[in-house]
Amino acid sequence: MRIEHSRVRVQVPATSANLGPGFDALGLALDLVDDLELEATTGGVEVLAEGEGAGSVPTGEEHLVVRALRRGLDHAGAPQVGVRLRTRNRIPHGRGLGSSAAATVAGLLLARGLLADPAALDDDAVLQLATAFEGHPDNAAPALLGGAVLSWTEASRGEERARAVNLALHREALRPLVLLPRTTLATHQARGLLPEEVPHGDAAFNASRAALLVHALATDPSLLLTATEDRLHQEQRAPGMPESVELLRVLRQEGHPAVISGAGPSLLVLRGDRAEVAQLVRRVVAETAAWRIAAVPLREDGARCVVD
């Protein structure tokens, strides 16, 4: 595969995975984006990072965007290139808002943008490669497709393949609020808090709520509170984010369809009034200034690639 272009820009959204009961399966894209610009050069790697994560992410071959770019070029059978990458990141890192999935999807789309034939790295290939990086598709799929997404993996001809579909949305289903603490929690740590096995009753409970959530989102948003109940992962992760889970309990007791966003420690309220939620946060948390509360609309569009 030939490289035909040398400058590519990509915009990729934040995502919130799980949505309560849909552990590793449901997710949605949020209107909070990272902007990336790539110039393919004759050699070397230069990364100029601005915004979230600047100063803490690697700036060479280890940068996640660069690793994903390289993987994408290899997949397409294209030669490797030198990299001058500029990132303007708005997605906070380590907060459960899909920053690493966004970086992975962005790197793969930057690779696509360089190719003479973008079909060599189509959406299905990007989903497979991003899922292999992440271990699960529930952030990568909405980052790629936009909107609310159900993703899963299935065995196909002896290999695991990720699949994803957009969910229908009632026009009043979502008015998302993101509650963002100053603290971070690494996904691998949060996953380490989960038990190996779950009681049959809890699995059945979550299956009913995940199915109900698909219905509530499409048809009847009045069911969102019940439909976002979870018994499989949020309480189990409380030791890693005690304040987030306490806030989750109070918000839900007061009738707000709140969930832990991804592996946490941020929260997502699917339909919420900012002033009301801010009042509850002031009641629960020790240091109100440590939490930011923002209305962040659903983003209908997935990641976008522009070739100059």
- Please report, as residue ranges, which positions from 173 to 202 form the binding site for ligand HSE (by CB under 6 A): 187, 190-191
Report DSSP letters for 49-70, one per residue.
EEETTTTTS--STTSHHHHHHH
Distance CA 87, CA 59 (A): 11
Q: Considering beta carbons, is residue 38 or 190 the nearer one to ligand HSE?
A: 190
Instruction: Label residue 222 exposed, middle or buried (CB < 10 Å: 0-12, 13-18, 19+).
Output: exposed
5 burial via Cβ count (<10 Å: 0-12, 13-18, 19+)? middle
Based on the shown chain and the rule CB under 6 A, indicate whether residue 240 belongs to the binding site for ligand HSE. no
24 is an interface residue for ligand HSE by CB under 6 A: yes
Q: State CA 59 to chain mean position distance.
A: 22
Cα–Cα separations (whole angstroms), residue 210 to 20, 229, 280: 8, 9, 26
Residue 279 Cβ vs ligand HSE, minimum distance, rounded to whole Å: 28
When the beta carbons of 115 and 263 are compared against ligand HSE, the nearer one is 263
| 263 scored as a contact of ligand HSE (CB under 6 A) | yes
Q: Give the span between the Cα atoms of 217 and 214, in whole angstroms.
A: 5
Q: Kindly tell me which residue out of 10, 14, 17, 129 binds ligand HSE, with binding defined by CB under 6 A.
A: 17
Considering beta carbons, is residue 113 or 264 the nearer one to ligand HSE?
264
- Contact call for residue 99 and ligand HSE (CB under 6 A): no
Please identify, using beta-carbon distances, which residue of 26 and 85 lies nearer to ligand HSE. 26
DSSP H or E segment with residue 156 = strand 148-156
Task: Classify residue 27 as exposed, middle or buried by CB count within 10 Å of its CB (0-12, 13-18, 19+).
Answer: buried
| Residue 102 found at the interface with ligand HSE (CB under 6 A) | no
Return the residue of 262, 265, 272, 302 that touches ligand HSE, per CB under 6 A: 262
Euclidean distance between CA atoms 40 and 201, whole angstroms: 53
Q: Least CB distance from residue 291 to ligand HSE, whole Å?
A: 20
Nearer to ligand HSE, 9 or 191 (CB): 191
Closest approach, Cβ 185 to ligand HSE, in A, equals 10
Is 209 annotated in a binding site? The answer is no
CB 252 within 8 A of CB 272: no
Per CB under 6 A, contacts with ligand HSE among 121-150 are: 136, 138-139
* Nearer to ligand HSE (CB atom), residue 21 or residue 262: 262
Question: In 3D, which of 205, 171, 176, 143 has the Cα closest to residue 267?
Answer: 176
Residues near ligand HSE (CB under 6 A) are 17-18, 23-24, 136, 138-139, 187, 190-191, 262-263
Please state the residue numbers annotated as binding site for ATP.
92-102
